[in-house]
Amino acid sequence: MTGRSRRGVLAGAGAGLAALAGCSVSLGTDETADGEALRRLADEERFERPYPHPLSIPDAMVTRHRERARALLDGVPVETDIPNELIATRIERERERLAERLDAGASGAESPDGQDDAGDAGGPDGDDGATASARDRLREARRRRREAAALRGTYRAATGGIDRADVERRRDAQRGRLAAFRAAWDYRAAAPVRAALVHAHLENLVDGAEHALTPWPQFPADPAADVEQVGYIAEKVEEAAAALDDLERYREQVAGERTTGYRPALMAAATWLRRRARREAFRHEAYLDEGVEAFDRDLGESVARYRFVIAREVAREYSNRDLIDRIDAGGYANAVLFAATRRAAVTALAASVEAVESDETGGEVSVQRIEAARRRAREAIETALDRGPVGLLARLLGPAFTALDEARRELEHGASGTPARALGGYRYAAEFAETAADAADELAFLLEEST
């Protein structure tokens, strides 16, 4: 309830500002100067969204991909005897490029930054900016592995060394690994919020592997006539294998903790949050369906109008339908995070409707007011992240960061943009940051209660 009282204070402050609005200088008295001032605001340093990684990435994980990439590369000679010189040259050049990249990456892998933060529910990731973070190096190594597989597949197609059965055998093997992973997957973690964050990441990897295993495009009838297609197919299968390597390592990591299986708890929390958001959305259904037309007066180009428009867009993006689909699809961790984001989005929408209905226009638009609103939005986001858990908030605050980005883009247009929309966007971001923090508390509470 703390959030609600804070919102009450905020609403009061908003009304106060609206009362003062008559005194503020509106934009448009000096368009050139205002346009410049707006653009200067847009140029100021961006407020970066944190992307903490919920698991550790030991060097062994990176090394495994690199070794596999090297082994694939070793299967392609430095000089080929492929009759088609164009294909021969492409293969030889790509081999050379990849060998250089692998050598360059090898020195990076020796950096001491062996592990991202594996602490509680997602601390900041261990990237100190000086060396590539473990996550970047993992991504890079996986990319090299895919590229090496594409090259090796292309080479084998060019030299008659691969057929459809080879590809299907390897793809089926990965399909088997994926099925085994799923069968044993019980969403274990040391704490419930951590379960949501860790397993949302694993779900993304599983989705990636599944997508990579789709048997498309078809293996060509004449591989030598379509070597690049064969390379692409080989790359996709390797991508699945790489994702499964990581998944199996992460699972060992998670199982090593003193853990509980959280699948039922995640499912329960997702369902409860969905129902709560549905109940609140139901009260505002006309606004969701009809937009500004649902109000009994013209909102004009007011700041309140833009804040409402943005709130409605977000609430529709995080829709009940999408949430049901996610729950049905069985991605429990991502579903519960989506549910909490929707919960925050619907509450923020309700607040924006309330603001309009209590006759707030959001006041005049001025450079100073835009700057102040941006500062408040950033402070609200920082406060929410501080309240934590940071990994959870970083995830739930997505719409607030998007609103900041969109407001900045509006300012880039200077006087020809819509400054009222920028101001509405910052107000929305501040509001959303508070509702997201409340939703995070609610999620944590529900997960604890249902465990």
Residues that bind other proteins (CB under 8 A): 82-90, 157-160, 217, 221-229
CB of 87 or CB of 102, closer to other proteins: 87
Minimum CB–partner distance for residue 226 and other proteins (Å): 8
Minimum CB–partner distance for residue 172 and other proteins (Å): 23
Residue 260's SS3 state is: strand
Longest dimension (CA), the chain: 81
Residue 259 contacts residue 266 (beta carbons within 8 Å) = no
CB of 130 or CB of 221, closer to other proteins: 221
Residue 188 contacts residue 253 (beta carbons within 8 Å) = no
Minimum CB–partner distance for residue 215 and other proteins (Å): 15
CB of 226 or CB of 406, closer to other proteins: 226
Residue 190's SS3 state is: coil
Minimum CB–partner distance for residue 211 and other proteins (Å): 19
Contacts for 243 with CB less than 8 Å, ≥ 6 apart: 205, 206, 208, 209, 212
Minimum CB–partner distance for residue 227 and other proteins (Å): 5
| Euclidean distance between CA atoms 380 and 426, whole angstroms | 10
CB of 29 or CB of 218, closer to other proteins: 218
| Euclidean distance between CA atoms 386 and 393, whole angstroms | 9
| Euclidean distance between CA atoms 193 and 132, whole angstroms | 28
Minimum CB–partner distance for residue 219 and other proteins (Å): 13
Asked, as a colleague might, if the bond just before 217 is cis with ω within 30 of 0, I would say yes
CB of 119 or CB of 220, closer to other proteins: 220
CB of 229 or CB of 260, closer to other proteins: 229
Minimum CB–partner distance for residue 154 and other proteins (Å): 9
Minimum CB–partner distance for residue 156 and other proteins (Å): 10
At residue 226, φ and ψ (nearest 5 deg) are -145, 55
| Euclidean distance between CA atoms 435 and 314, whole angstroms | 13
| Euclidean distance between CA atoms 274 and 268, whole angstroms | 10
Q: How many CB atoms lie within 10 A of CB 136?
A: 17
**Angle 2-20/332-357 helices, nearest 10 degrees?**
40
CB of 11 or CB of 224, closer to other proteins: 224
CB of 80 or CB of 418, closer to other proteins: 80
